[in-house]
Amino acid sequence: MSVVIYNTLSRQKETFEPLSPNQVKMYCCGVTVYDYCHLGHARSYIVWDTVRRYLTWRGYNVRYVQNFTDIDDKILTRARKEKSSMEAVAKKYTAAYLEDMARLNVLEADEYTYATHTIDGIKRLIHELEQKGYAYPAEGDVYYSVRKFEGYGKLSGRKLEDMRAGESGRTETQQTQIKQDPFDFALWKSAKLDEPAWESPWGPGRPGWHIECSAMVRDRLGDTIDIHMGGADLQFPHHENEIAQSEAVTGAPLSTYWMHNGMVNVEGTKMSKSLGNFTTIRNLLDAPDGPNPMAIRMFVMQSQYRMPLDFTESAIAAAKKGWATLNDGLNFGQQYGKNLGWKLNETDLELEAAAVQQFQASMDDDFNTPGAVAVLFGLAKELQRQSNLIVHQGSPDADLWTLQQHWRTLVQLAGVLGLEAQNQEESATDSDSTNGISDAEIEKLVEARSLAKQSKNYAESDRIRDDLKAQGITLIDKPGGVTVWHR
């Protein structure tokens, strides 16, 4: 069995075969750093993080490179607005990106690249394109002559004659007049007054958007990589243009597989900065009753990465609840393992084969995370049941070995999806120290409540229970008038 990937290039699922056995070179189109990231970005990078984690778990040696676009009109506009510099704005939002992603448990790339650090490679590439007749200078700009590249449109499946230039209403009129063809795009833009600029054979200026990715991939990973990924909205023109640039120069395919994630929608339409219908990651997480970052991962994992994903209050609420169940399961070992006599560091325990097999079958099929998450829930619900038995009856009804295996399997597989529990012991200690109430005091209150119950003074007994609840202590009445509690 091998991994199957939906390749945008062929519009079908293909068996994954890396160029060199067990080596995977991945390049992910990163963000333009002019603002905080929103949920659309969160989805995208959580998805690619998961692909990377899964391939790694499957035994591939993955090299993951991602860029930051730190030269761009939007950054400049932002810098003017904030009376700052392009560099400062880019720095600020690059840092913010890294913070947000760390919270979402997105692993750092093996290498991050920056447009500003790739100027030489960019200039080299443009020069080669010029020599090979694919690029032409015009009034200090340099443009790519799209009609010279035979395969233009092969990724997005479109023909130049079918497209309406300027359909989206965003064409820059100035450029339109300079370009030989409306579909030609800028490789190099001449600098206007008080704009950051780099020296070049075509005069001072800065690179166009698409060229940086071509240059970075070539510099860091080589002429052909295994997987190139990004948002579905990058398919055209960005990735199409990358292909045109890279392949015209190298004569080799830029990437064997192209993967695109579906958009995050708000009330049926795409979340985007220009529409203003976005929620930033930090706003969502930092809201008073905001979700745990892992709940966001759950939210993303519960739909297939190529499908649109609707962001709604109720979807987040459902993900929060779902995460709570999973989190309980993940904490089972910390909570009960010691009492059950587990050795927690025992790692040579075999995982539960059926669950692993089902998980892998789902994930192998173009990263079917909803199927994989269902496996996680199967394990978590069983642990939840056992946990309830322990609390109410004092012991589980499964043998300890099986329980430990369940738990280890859950932790391991959830980890492959980047779903990790908070360290419960830590938070428990936290609440011990910050929460003034001691065990003895709780016992006293529980005792008082039992007496109140016996005399049928339920108002009093409920008051005590509510008070304790407010302090994070849950009471459980068991048959026979016994009450147990836990924080």
**Interface of this chain with RNA, residues 212 to 251, rule: CB under 7 A:** 230-238
Q: How far apart are CA 156 and CA 143, in angstroms?
A: 21
Residues 335-364 that bind RNA (CB under 7 A): 362
Asked if 303 interacts with RNA (CB under 7 A), we say: yes
CB 21 to RNA: min, Å: 27
The smaller minimum CB distance to RNA, of residues 397 and 441, is found at 397
In the block, tokens 């067990």 appear at 22
Q: How far apart are CA 35 and CA 89, in angstroms?
A: 8
Of 3, 5, 24, 44, which lies in the binding site for RNA, with binding defined by CB under 7 A?
44
Among 327, 335, 360, 461, binds RNA (CB under 7 A): 461
Written as one letter, the residue type at 62 is: V
Residue 266 backbone dihedrals phi, psi, to 5 degrees: -120, 120
What lies within 8 Å, CB to CB, of 265 at 6+ separation is 271, 308, 309, 310, 311
* Interstrand relation of 225-231 and 23-28 (parallel, antiparallel or unpaired): parallel
Rule CB under 7 A: is residue 279 a binding residue for RNA?
A: no
3-state secondary structure (DSSP) of residue 474 = strand
Q: Is 59 left (phi over 0), alpha (psi -120 to 50) or beta?
A: left
The helix (H) or strand (E) run that includes residue 231 is strand 225-231
Q: Determine the size of the site formed for RNA (CB under 7 A).
A: 95
- Residues listed for the chain: 487
Burial of 312 (0-12, 13-18, 19+ CB in 10 A): exposed
Closest CB to RNA among 43 and 406? 43
Candidates 24-32, 126-134, 193-201, 333-341; binding stretch for RNA (CB under 7 A):
24-32
Minimum Å gap between C-beta 20 and RNA is 27
Beta strand spans in 306-433 (E): 309-310
How far apart CA 33 and CA 88 sit, in angstroms, is 10
Would you count residue 396 as binding RNA (CB under 7 A)?
A: no
**Residue 151: strand, helix, or coil:** coil
| Minimal distance, residue 41 CB to RNA, in Å | 5
* Choice from 10, 283, 423, 474 touching RNA (CB under 7 A): 474
Is the alpha carbon torsion for 128, 131, 133, 139 positive or negative?
positive
- Tell me which stretch binds RNA (CB under 7 A): 59-67, 216-224, 281-289, 302-310: 302-310
DSSP character at residue 236: I
Residue 365 CA to residue 328 CA, distance in Å, equals 28
Span interacting with RNA, options 129-137, 182-190, 420-428, 438-446, rule CB under 7 A: 182-190
- Interface with RNA, residue 378, by CB under 7 A: yes
The amino acid occupying position 104 is L
Give least dist CB 197 to RNA, A: 19
Tokens at 272, concatenated: 């985007």
3-class secondary structure for 246-312?
HHHHHCCCCEEEEEEECCEEECCEECCCCCCCCCEHHHHHHCCCCCCHHHHHHHHHCCCCCCCEECC
Closer residue to RNA in complex, CB, 211/411: 211
Q: Which residue has the tokens 């333009």?
A: 32
Pick from 84, 250, 265, 292 the residue near RNA by CB under 7 A: 265
3-class DSSP state of 88: helix
Pick one of 304, 327, 331, 409: the residue that binds RNA (CB under 7 A): 304
One symbol per residue from 48 to 87: x for binding RNA (CB under 7 A), - otherwise; what is it? ---------------------x----x-------------
Is there binding between residue 30 and RNA (CB under 7 A)?
yes
Instruction: For RNA, give the closer residue by CB, 7 or 304.
Output: 304
Nearest CB to RNA, comparing residues 18 and 322: 322
Q: Report in angstroms how near the CB of residue 436 gets to RNA at its nearest.
A: 23
- Cα 428-433-436 angle, rounded to 5 deg: 110
Residues 118-177 that bind RNA (CB under 7 A): 156-159, 162-172
Q: Which of 190, 453, 468, 473 binds RNA (CB under 7 A)?
A: 453
Nearer to RNA, 46 or 411 (CB): 46
Q: Which of 198, 292, 377, 471 binds RNA (CB under 7 A)?
A: 377
What is the x/- site pattern for RNA, positions 305-334, by CB under 7 A? -xxxxx-x-xx-xxx-xx--x---------
Q: What is the per-residue DSSP string for 427-454? A: HHHHHHHHS---HHHHHHHHHHHHHHHH
Q: How far is the CB of 132 from RNA (least distance, A)?
A: 20
Select 78 or 220, whichever has its Cβ closest to RNA: 78
Residue 346 C-beta: closest distance to RNA, Å: 26
Question: By CB under 7 A, is residue 179 in contact with RNA?
Answer: yes
| DSSP count for the chain of H helices, then E strands | 17, 16
Does residue 2 interact with RNA by CB under 7 A?
no
CB of residue 340 vs RNA: minimum separation in angstroms?
A: 18
Q: Among 102, 252, 451, 476, indicate the residue that binds RNA (CB under 7 A).
A: 476
**Nearer Cβ to RNA (199/443):** 443
- Choice between 102 and 165, CB closer to RNA: 165
Residues forming beta bridges with residue 24, ordered by sequence position: 62
